[in-house]
Amino acid sequence: MKPPIFHRIYGNEYNRALLPNPHLAFLEEGVSTIAEARVKTGASIGYPGWGMLYYLLLCQLNPHQFNLVIETGSNFGCSSIILGQALKDSGRSGKCHTIEIDEENYRRAQENIRQAGVDGYVECHLGDSRQVLPTILAAHEEVQVAFLDGSHLYAHVLAEFELLWPKITNETLIILDNTYQIAEEGEDPRVNGALKEIQRRYGGNLINFSFVSWYTPGLALWQKQPFDDLTPPRAERKD
């Protein structure tokens, strides 16, 4: 693997009072290093990723229908709090289902979500996302937003995406963390490689924010085809 790169801001560089949820600001209080952040908030994307995630969801929630939000990799529940807060603040119908494979993290996430006051908007699931997702998805017509931040291994990311695929509409927003190409030749290509394979198999539109999150940094947005009417007939395309 390549050396670690960190694009997570901590210490005095940001005003914690601006975070969308006061419990998250409380957890960050006094944090001035990556090591301290890891103890308090786990392997979360951190600031400014939290703000980005909050506003992405706030702007993507459909006011005319129930919004199913999926998160894989609850960790300590910090990003789950962000997603729940956006649902709460929007006043729109929906729920975030977050999945965590580690039991200790799962319990910790549940408690943080409860203390953050968003437990009515977030439902926690314990288990492997590849086994839990089918049960959640079976009860819904479509996914509005999915944040894939569990295992960052190539095969696992692809498996999660493929499970979501039948429920993905042109409007669905898929968010993936840790997109930097950290793998050396011969190593698991991880999220970066999975994204390349997703585009090869499924097409879609992709944008990457390189300077957010940490080891590995990068946050990507994928969407299938939000503007059908702007897509020229295949015969007219130059490719």
Q: What is the pLDDT averaged over residues 26-42?
A: 93
Question: Cα(168)–Cα(171) distance, rounded to whole angstroms?
Answer: 8
Question: pLDDT averaged over the chain?
Answer: 94
Position 13 scores a pLDDT of 82
When divided into structural domains, the chain yields a total of: 1
**pLDDT above 80 (res 229):** no
Residue 79 resides in a domain: yes
**pLDDT above 50 (res 132):** yes
> Which long-range contacts link 221-229 to residues 24+ away (Cβ below 8 Å)?
221/56, 221/173, 221/174, 221/175, 222/173, 222/174, 222/175, 222/176, 222/195, 222/198, 223/170, 223/171, 223/172, 223/173, 223/174, 224/168, 224/169, 224/170, 224/172, 225/170, 226/170, 226/171, 228/170
Residue 28 resides in a domain: yes
Residue 95 resides in a domain: yes
Beta pairing partners, 123: 97
What is the value of pTM for the model shown? Answer: 0.93
Residue 239 resides in a domain: no
Position 4 scores a pLDDT of 82
**pLDDT above 60 (res 238):** no
215 or 97, higher pLDDT: 97
Question: Cα(177)–Cα(63) distance, rounded to whole angstroms?
Answer: 26
Q: How confident is the model at residue 236 (pLDDT cuts 50, 70, 90)?
A: very low
